[in-house]
Copies of this chain bind each other. A is one copy, B any other.
Amino acid sequence: MSKSKLISPFKPAAHKHQECLQSAIVAAKTHCDAAGIRLTPIRQRVLELVWQNHEPVKAYDILDKLKQAKSSSAPPTVYRALDFLQDEGLVHKIESLNAYVGCGNPKELHKGQFFICHDCGFVAELDDDEIRDLLQKKAKRFGFEINDEMVEIKGYCQECRGSKK
């Protein structure tokens, strides 16, 4: 069965983001418990910082925040946590921005397709087999076997388009 989920939609500016954050943390704990791996305090803290909003977050911005609690924090602290979170599908890296966003559906490991607004910075995540199938079809024509895919689309979200009028 082919799926097409708008996992993380663009959010109204004033939505209850605390709920997004809470459910992301709960989902992460659930995932790690089930997988028998540890969501350590550092990892959880980094995940919270990635989820501080719906914009991609930079590693060194995370580091700055970590330093507020523990001034000896260093780049490896952040990058290790981000690597862990990415491996577990809790966070995605936006390659074209060198920045990180929380995954809205860590239950199934996947690479999403991302739509990023130039104005407000929000990211929407899609998990869409139709896109994957099409890429697969194209690849097949020249015998290419896909094992990783990055789709990052920039533009303007509905809200920002409206306010430009």
Q: Which residues on the B side are within 8 Å of A149 (C-beta)?
A: 151-154
Q: Are A6 and B156 in contact (CB under 8 A)?
A: no
The answer to whether the Cβ of A157 comes within 8 Å of any Cβ in the partner chain is: yes
Inter-chain CA distance A135–B10, complex, in Å, is 16
Could you say how many copies of this chain the assembly holds? 2
User: Measured between C-beta atoms, what is the minimum distance from A57 to chain B in Å?
Assistant: 17
Q: Which of A142-165 contact B (CB under 8 A)?
A: 142-158, 161
Q: Which residues on the B side are within 8 Å of A155 (C-beta)?
A: 139, 144-148
Q: Show the binding face of A for B, using Cβ within 8 Å.
A: 6, 9-10, 95-96, 113, 115, 117-118, 124, 126, 128, 130-131, 134-135, 138-139, 141-158, 161
